[in-house]
Amino acid sequence: MTFSSYDAWWWPFAFILAGGWLATDSWRYLGVVFGGRMAEDSEWLVLVRAVATALVAGVVGNLIFFPTGALATTPVWIRVAAVAGGFAAYLALGRKIIVGIVAAEALFAALLLAL
């Protein structure tokens, strides 16, 4: 089955539903059901956290080194500097995710404007 398997108007929507929503949300629902019954330091939850962290790191790495669209027109050193600055702000200012995100975006915008 591929995105262009059928010529029906509804097929792309069914494909996105099955490939996107069902494939990810089923695991989320299972996590909610079983996660409440497991100890936080159980080997399974440690594995799940490690895999989730690795997936996020992979997405961030792709956005930095293999971007698409408008982000691809920016120099790689600006993207790396923004991530490094955001991470430094995250660590220095209380390990708050929103602080790291805002700092990275602000540094990215400032470097683009200065360029």
Q: What is the pLDDT of residues 29-59, one digit of tens each?
A: 887 887 778 888 889 888 888 998 999 999 9
pTM over 0.95: no
Question: Residue 6 pLDDT > 80, yes or no?
Answer: no
Residue 4 reports pLDDT greater than 80: no
Residue 22 has pLDDT above 80, yes or no: no
Q: What is the DSSP string of the chain?
A: --TTS---TTHHHHHHIIIIIIHHHHHHHHHHHHHTTS-TT-HHHHHHHHHHHHHHHHHHHHHHHS--GGGGGS-HHHHHHHHHHHHHHHHHTTS-HHHHHHHHHHHHHHHHHH-
Gyration radius of the chain's alpha carbons: 19
Q: What is the pLDDT of residues 74-91, one digit of tens each?
A: 999 999 999 999 999 999
Reply yes or no on whether the pLDDT at 98 is more than 70: yes
